[in-house]
Amino acid sequence: MTGEQWEELQRVLAGELFEPLPVGFIIDSPWLPGWAGISTFDYYSSEQLWIEANLKAVRQFPDIIFLPGFWSEFGMCTEPSAFGAKCTWQENEFPFADKIINDIQDINLLNKPNPKTDGLLPFVISRLKHYRSQIEQAGHAIKFAVSRGPLNIATFLMGTTEFLMAIRTNPDEAHELLDVVTDFIIDWLELQTEAFPSIDGILVLDDIVGFLGDEDFKQAALPYLKRIFQSLDMGVRFFHNDAAGLVCAPYLAEIGVNLFNFSHQHSLDEMKELTNNSVTLLGNIPPRDVLAAGTPEDVSNSIKAALSSVTDKSRIILSCGGGMPPEVPTENIEAFLSVLG
């Protein structure tokens, strides 16, 4: 992210209205490798191909705020690998982390990993250190510490169905797991900020939050998200949940979130009302069916429809309802920008 983009982002978060509205996208391994013409496996395994793909994106679309920007990651394997999860890799598929908790009592044996030494995390830091000077020479800076969220990691370690059931059937063990994972996430975010003093933002991604009802959310998500977002004094506190987002929206300000990326199934007006217009919204056109599979005209029409009912256009960064999906073509991104002039 450039200095000018960071300043613009801060001003949007503060409520300043921009004309035209800013555009931002979460980009990582689902989209970048294919768009850059390389395999997903090569994107993860080659530092050189990783930096080339990211530089290609920021150079081709200099008017877009890419978030978090130069994301050093290994897909969903990044954080579970630190707990000892077996990671499976294929040429053009997303990697998968196998669960390590096969019995509810296994949670008692779980130890908090050390992000300095465990799993793929040291490689995440090393990649950024190797290319920090090249990133800065391109006019950008490393601005975000990033982690998957507590429920997201817990479901990889235990299985989604098993963990969600445990919230009700074995709440003590479920909370013990969430405690360990939350403490680990805080350590992981702190390590990133120590390694890169330019960081002034955190991004936490947790779609599992959207699977909870209100009471379960208040018990099993709210306290842990608050601990994470309030553990570091950051200018940007960014939360991504592109599953059902209505359950968490009223609590985002309490959690400490000031930037939210959510499902395209919720309108901008609806989210503004639920958040009391206190959180900047990143959205909100359908990522797969429009941005990836639609025509440039579809993209244009979808943006116009998303904005048609919005009376207050402050605290909006136009995007899709989730991260940039696979196979989004260049012409659709250009169409997205052209709508705004």
- For the stretch 198-236, pLDDT in tens is 999 999 999 999 999 999 999 999 999 999 999 999 999
Q: How remote is the C-alpha of 288 from its chain's centroid? A: 17
Cα–Cα dist 153/106, whole Å: 16
List the chain residues with pLDDT less than 50: none
| Segment (H or E) for 127 | helix 121-137
pLDDT of residue 244: 85
**Which ranges constitute the DSSP H helices of 27-97?**
32-36, 40-45, 47-60
End-to-end Cα distance, the chain: 22
Take residue 185 and report the two structure tokens written for it. 């996430």
Beta bridge partners of 239: 204, 260
Give residue 1's pLDDT: 94
Are the C-beta atoms of residues 269 and 310 closer than 8 Å to each other? yes
Query: How many CB atoms are located within 10 Å of the residue 21 CB?
Result: 18
Question: pTM of the entire structure?
Answer: 0.97
* Cβ atoms within 10 Å of 230's Cβ, excluding its own: 14
For 140, phi and psi rounded to 5 degrees?
Answer: -115, 170
d(CA 125, CA 114): 13
pLDDT tens by residue, 45-88: 999 999 999 999 999 999 999 999 999 999 999 999 999 999 99
Distance (Å) of CA 297 to CA 124, 265, 293: 38, 20, 12
Bond prior to 284 in cis (omega within 30° of 0): yes
Which candidate, 107, 33, 93, 24, places its Cα nearest to that of 62? 24
- The structural domains of the chain, ordered by start, are 3-339 (3.20.20.210)
| Distance from C-alpha of 292 to C-alpha of 17, rounded to nearest angstrom | 28
